[in-house]
Chains A and B, each alone.
Chain A
Amino acid sequence: MSLTGAMLLTQVSVPQVSVPFSPEQASTFAPHVDALYAYLLLITIFFSTLITLLLVVFAVKYRRRQPDEVPRPISGSMVLELTWTIVPLLIAMTIFVWGASTYFKAYRVPHQAMEVYVVAKQWMWKFQHQTGQREINELHVPVGARVKLTMTTEDVIHSLYVPAFRIKQDVVPGRYTQLWFEATKTGSYYLFCAEYCGTNHSGMGGHVIVMEPTAYEQWLAGGAGAESAAAQGQKLFQERGCASCHQTDPAGQQGRGPTLYGLFGKQQAIEGDGTVAVDESYIRESILDPQAKLALGFQPIMPTFRNQVNEEQILQLIAYIRSLGQPQGGESGGTAQGGGGTTTGPTTGGASPTTERSNPLAPTSPRQGNPSPQLPPRVGQGGAANANRRQ
């Protein structure tokens, strides 16, 4: 699986360029951006030097020698005009194609990825792993695994920026934005907020800590007391009384609201016209504004849960709904495979304040080179998640 991922990224073979004054290259995306940068630099230097040289040569050669001289007028040349219109346009189009294809790679989020939920707020980054671990201003990820961030904010617009990965994505209130990366080198990398967000904007940063897979598993195992995001969501689901209307068992009788079992990822017919894909955004909208896209055949009786559940809790509910009806141990989805409410874990309140955790196992030597192809992309589903659930 990660082989196809690696192929996807290296369809266009990118020469390994190192540009001066650039941050470390620590993601699969970084060499692509640097190569594009090198190309852009070459073009920029070429044209700037050309113009500067011409200016200097003309300024010296045709400097005014007599105060009253009048040179012969030259009105123009169609050939030259066409040349310096068409040639730059063609060069610009090559930049466009290169830039657009790089961008497309960065924003085409792979289906198979380890998922992390991100909630930004003034002025901190809160991360929640599917296995339940929560962190503030630090994100631990394994090297060589594709990591997908599903992000929103509790207040203003923020922007998650990791220079070493060359990625950035605004985090917008009221919607989910997604970003993915695959780290290629262990180490600790700066994480910044890149969209101005108020008083302590420059303090809203931290680190992404890229670890060897084994060290990452140990780090996960060190998270005593954490239960999976889906399990936390399930608890909320019971506490908030969602279960009184929404059936989660496929065999059970249809409640007043749609049965949620196996719903995620399907097309849902809605009142009015058309269908809507049941994804993170639709579930979020249905919790906060239930009548916006009402499922066909149901009464508009669900109250809004705005101000009753926060963004982190909504993400936990989504993790839970998503886990319902997912094939056991199957290939789809990056969530912890709890099955239909079988997970029983120690009770840590979903909304309880998280403790900031530091990396129990500092990364050893920085790892060079490409990710190992045999590494499963979904680390969360493997031993790490199970080890965690046993606690």
Chain B
Amino acid sequence: MSNELTATDARAHEWRSRFPTVNYLNADYGIKSWLLTKDHKRIALLYLVSVTFFFLIGGAYAGAIRLELLTPQGDLVQSQTYNKLFTHHGIMMVFFFLIPSIPATLGNFLVPMMIGAKDLAFPRINLLSWYIYMLGGVLTFSALLFGGVDTGWTFYVPYSTNFSNTYVVLAGLGIFINGFSSILTGLNFIVTIHTMRAPGMTWFRLPLFIWSHYATSLIFILGTPVIAITILLIALERLAHVGIFDPALGGDPVLFQHMFWFYSHPAVYIMILPAMGVVSELIATHTRKPIFGYSFVAFSSLAIAIFGFLVWGHHLFVSSQSVYAGMIFSLISFVVAIPSAVKVFNWTATMYKGSISYDTPMLYAFAFIGLFTIGGMTGVMLAALGFDVHVTDTYFVVAHFHYIMVGGAMMGYLGGLHNWWPKITGRMYPEGWGRFAALVVFVGFNLTFFPQFLLGYMGMPRRYHAYPADVPLWQVLHVMSTAGASILGIGLLIPGVYFLWSMRYGRFAPANPWPATGLEWRTPSPPPTENFAVTPVVTWEAYEYRPVEEMRVIGPGESAEQAAGVQPPLDRAET
């Protein structure tokens, strides 16, 4: 290796230190270089753009829902329109935003980098997965545009098969196709993590982000085929009148609910597990400590993935499922709550005697822990059978899963975006604006969804276009919720604006701005196409801040940093 440092190389080295280095962003130009790329980092950006697009669509639907609920009467839109609004909101957010958000953007970008690989195991399949995702997204979105779907994102039969006169099959086809994108991503991650770890990167030196993505990938490839089959059966029943679910044809409508939740409950863990992985990284980085109880946090991800497949029946406590089945599903649901609790305790313990920064990613990590705790605890409440009977299908459930999906998954996603933005773009986002936006998001979120817990226990059913005006407080709570949603919307737009701004005007990011210990930080920002100039050899444990010489950046990025006069703070700590 040392003989590479010839005089010519030194000159090239010096050249690169004065100018922006050749990286994955400027290595090639033109629309073709993006649409035909096999670079996992560029594919991650393709996903980032498309996921953001579908998020904006889903968010617009949410805004319309909240506006309608300002008044008890159904006065803004007609009930049929309202039903389409919440259906579209759910479909867009669940299938085209939350499920791919972290794995397909941050996961795609970081999984190879964190394990010291040049790319994913199957780069072409990775690109294919994005095309499949876009095809599914466009099909479903066109179904929404041509007239919409009014079945709810849950597509319960027999409403979706025999009664709804909307574009169920087209929307379902899009979701069906989109599922293959999830499967391919999961497959790619699993093979990559098994086979492409850098020398010395043992399983227990992996960042916890990798463990959680491994667990997520297991759910992707085991769960997604079931929803594909279920959607296919709906299409068969709608088009060919095959009696799977229709009791008039000898079918069983509750069978659909079993099949649907067999995927859709684990799908909740698809959304939350990657966020948990992100939060583990954020906390280790911004407290500069290894995660307390590393192996417990790692195995809890696998435990969640496995037990998550055994609890689907807790969505069916009032569905006419057997009372005894309900009891077993309830029992296992309490068991699956434990690994999540273990994670929360370990994250909190990691902060003990840490060096806690208040940078934006850490603020999102704080928000995640607090909100996920409330979301998780209310999940435990819902697993209690006698309690669930009263609150299931009410706003209590709506509040609970938004605490998990927005308070958990979304906070993790935002925190992760801020944390790795310097690595992805080579630019820093404005820290002050970042902290301000995090605060606005936190306040807006709680104001939106906390009142919904109260509404739920008071008996307000979900998916209601209009609600009784004479029940005290209902309208007050809905107005609070809508006000919160407005604040939340603004809070989410601010990062959109400054992220775009920073791509052109942001301060140049050093290779390791926080600094953090992961391999992705030991290569320049933005990284070169091949990720690492030399294949890293890992001689340290996960999140090990010492010895400091191991923190050195590999490759030319180091000199770029030194040329810019940026010393990694830890070097100074050592001298």
> A and B: partners?
yes
Residue numbers of A with Cβ under 8 A of B are 19, 21-23, 32-33, 36-37, 40, 43-44, 47-48, 51-52, 54-55, 58-59, 62-65, 67-77, 80-81, 84-85, 88-89, 92-93, 95-96, 98-108, 122, 155-157, 159, 161, 163-164, 166-170, 172-175, 177, 190, 192-203, 205, 306
If A161-B459, A173-B158 touch, whether A99 touches B544 (CB-CB below 8 Å) is: no
Q: Is A157 within 8 A of B458, CB to CB? A: no
Determine if B326 is an interface residue (Cβ-Cβ < 8 Å): yes
Which of B36-44, B225-233, B388-396 is the contact stretch? B388-396
Instruction: Tell me the complex Cα distance, A328–B396, Å.
Output: 48
The residue of chain A having its C-beta at the shortest distance from the C-beta of B295 within the complex is A76
- Contact call A201/B463, Cβ cutoff below 8 A: yes
Q: Which of B158, B287, B390, B457 contacts A157 (CB 8 A)?
A: B158
Please name the residue on chain B nearest to A292 by beta carbon.
Answer: B250
A332 to B448, CA, bound (A): 52
Whose C-beta in chain A lies nearest to the C-beta of B160? Answer: A156
Q: Which residues of A contact B433 (CB under 8 A)?
A: none
Question: Distance (Å) between the CB of B353 and the closest chain A CB?
Answer: 6
Contact of B248 among A93, A174, A198 (CB under 8 A): A174
Report if A71-B289 is in contact (Cβ < 8 Å); known contacts: A59-B356, A62-B356, A197-B159.
yes
Does the CB pair A173–B374 fall under 8 Å? no
Q: Which residue of B lies closest to A202 (CB)?
A: B464
Contact with A along B274-302 (1 / 0, CB 8 A): 00000000000001111011111000000
B496 at the interface (CB under 8 A from A): no
Report 26 cross-chain contacts, Cβ distance below 8 Å, ordered by A residue. A19-B457, A23-B458, A44-B378, A47-B377, A55-B351, A59-B356, A64-B358, A65-B355, A71-B355, A73-B545, A74-B349, A74-B353, A77-B293, A95-B383, A96-B331, A102-B384, A161-B461, A163-B390, A167-B389, A170-B318, A170-B319, A175-B247, A195-B156, A196-B154, A198-B163, A201-B83
Cβ contact within 8 Å between B384 and A98: yes
Interface residue total, chain B, C-beta cutoff 8 A = 97
- B352 located at the interface, meaning its Cβ lies under 8 Å from any Cβ of chain A in the complex: yes
B159 and A99 form a contact (CB under 8 A): no
Given A75-B294, A203-B466, decide whether A44 and B377 contact each other with a Cβ distance below 8 A. Answer: yes
Interface string of B249-286 (1 = CB under 8 A from A): 00011100000000000000000000000000000000
Does B307 reach chain A (CB closer than 8 Å)? no
Distance between Cα atoms of A190 and B357 in the complex (Å) = 51
Kindly specify which of B119-127, B190-198, B365-373 makes contact with the partner chain.
B365-373
Interface contact A85-B387, CB-CB below 8 Å: no
- In the bound complex, residues from chain B placing their C-beta under 8 Å from that of A77 are 292-293
The residue in A85, A122, A163, A177 that gathers the most chain B C-beta atoms within 10 A of its C-beta is A163
What residues on B are CB-neighbors of A65 within 8 Å?
355
Q: Mark B319-348, 1 if CB is under 8 A from A, else 0.
A: 110010011001100110110011011101
Q: What residues on B are CB-neighbors of A74 within 8 Å? A: 289-290, 292, 349, 352-353
Tell me which of B57-65, B138-146, B435-443, B567-575 binds A: B567-575
Q: Cβ of A155 and Cβ of B158 under 8 Å apart?
A: yes
Q: Chain B nearest CB: distance from A260 CB in Å?
A: 24
**Residues of the B chain whose Cβ atoms lie less than 8 Å from the Cβ of A167:** 389-390
CB < 8 Å: which of A93, A95, A159, A205 contacts B318?
A159
The stretch from B23-31, B91-99, B467-475 touching chain A is: B467-475
Cβ contact within 8 Å between B292 and A76:
yes
A81 in contact with B293 given A177-B320, A195-B393, A201-B463 (CB within 8 Å): yes
Q: Which residue of A lies closest to B87 (CB)?
A: A196
Which chain A positions have C-beta within 8 A of B393? 159, 161, 168, 194-195
- A198→B151 CA distance, assembly (Å): 7
Given A23-B457, A177-B320, 16 other A-B residues pairs in contact with their CB atoms under 8 A: A40-B381, A44-B380, A48-B374, A52-B370, A52-B373, A58-B348, A62-B352, A68-B573, A69-B573, A80-B293, A96-B384, A105-B386, A161-B393, A170-B319, A172-B320, A174-B248
- Distance (Å) between the CB of B470 and the closest chain A CB? 9
Q: Which of A33, A67, A197 contacts B387 (CB 8 A)?
A: A33
B164 within 8 A of A: yes
Within 8 A of A (CB), among B540-575: 543-546, 569-570, 572-573
Q: Contact check: which of B349, B356, B384, B458 meets A95 at CB < 8 Å?
A: B384
Let me know if B289 and A95 touch, CB within 8 A: no
Which of A51, A71, A76 touches B287 (beta carbons < 8 Å)?
A71
A102 / chain B contacts, CB cutoff of 8 Å? 384-387
Q: Are A157's CB and B373's CB within 8 A?
A: no
Please indicate the chain A residues that have their CB under 8 angstroms from the CB of B156 in the complex: 156-157, 195-196
**B355 and A168 within 8 A (CB):** no
Does B79 lie at the interface of the complex (its beta carbon under 8 Å from any beta carbon of A)?
yes
Contact at B394–A99, with CB atoms within 8 Å?
no
Is B323's CB under 8 angstroms from A192's CB? no
Chain A interface mostly helix, strand, loop or mixed?
mixed
Contacts of B254 in A (CB 8 A): 172
CB distance from B549 to the nearest CB of A (A): 14
Binding site for A on B (CB under 8 A): 74, 79-80, 83, 150, 152, 154, 156, 158-159, 162-164, 247-248, 252-254, 287-290, 292-296, 317-320, 323, 326-327, 330-331, 334-335, 337-338, 341-342, 344-346, 348-349, 351-358, 366, 369-370, 373-374, 377-378, 380-381, 383-390, 392-394, 454, 457-459, 461-468, 471, 473, 543-546, 569-570, 572-573
| B462 contact set on A, CB distance < 8 A | 196
Cβ of B408 to closest chain A Cβ, rounded Å: 14
Q: Which of B287, B390, B543 contacts A168 (CB 8 A)?
A: B390
Known: A32-B386, A40-B384, A64-B356. A202 touches B345 (CB 8 A): no
Q: Are A22 and B386 closer than 8 Å at their CB atoms?
A: no
Docked Cα-Cα span, A98 to B387, in Å, equals 10
Using CB atoms, name the residue of chain B closest to A178. B320
Q: Is the CB of A64 within 8 A of B353?
A: no
CB contact under 8 A between A58 and B80, given known A21-B457, A68-B569, A102-B387:
no
Tell me the complex Cα distance, A32–B467, Å.
27
A99 touches B152 (CB 8 A): no
Contact across chains for A156 and B83 when beta carbons are under 8 A apart: no
A302 CA / B551 CA spacing, docked (Å): 83
Beta-carbon contact of B355 and A172 below 8 Å: no
Could you tell me the distance in whole angstroms from the C-beta of B439 to the nearest C-beta in chain A? 14
Tell me, in angstroms, the Cα distance from A92 to B380 when the chains sit together: 8
Let me know if A168 and B377 touch, CB within 8 A.
no
A48 with B373, Cβ < 8 A, contacts A99-B383, A169-B318 known: yes
With both chains docked as a complex, state the minimum distance between the C-beta of A51 and any C-beta of chain B, in angstroms.
Answer: 5
Which chain B residues lie closer than 8 Å to A59 at the CB level?
351, 356, 358, 366
Return chain A residues, CB-CB under 8 Å to B331.
Answer: 96, 100
Chain B residues with Cβ below 8 Å from A193 are 461
A168 near B318 (CB under 8 angstroms)?
A: yes
The 4 A-B residue pairs with the shortest CB-CB distance, nearest first, are: A174-B247, A102-B386, A163-B459, A99-B384
Distance, CA A111 to CA B296, complexed state (A):
50
Among A32, A65, A156, find the residue whose CB has the most chain B CB atoms closer than 10 A. A156
Interchain CB contact (< 8 A) of B317 among A48, A103, A306: A103
| Structural contact, B458 and A22, CB atoms closer than 8 A | yes
> Would A58 and B351 be within 8 Å (CB), given that A37-B387, A75-B290, A96-B334 are in contact?
yes
Question: Closest residue of chain B to A46, judged by CB?
Answer: B377
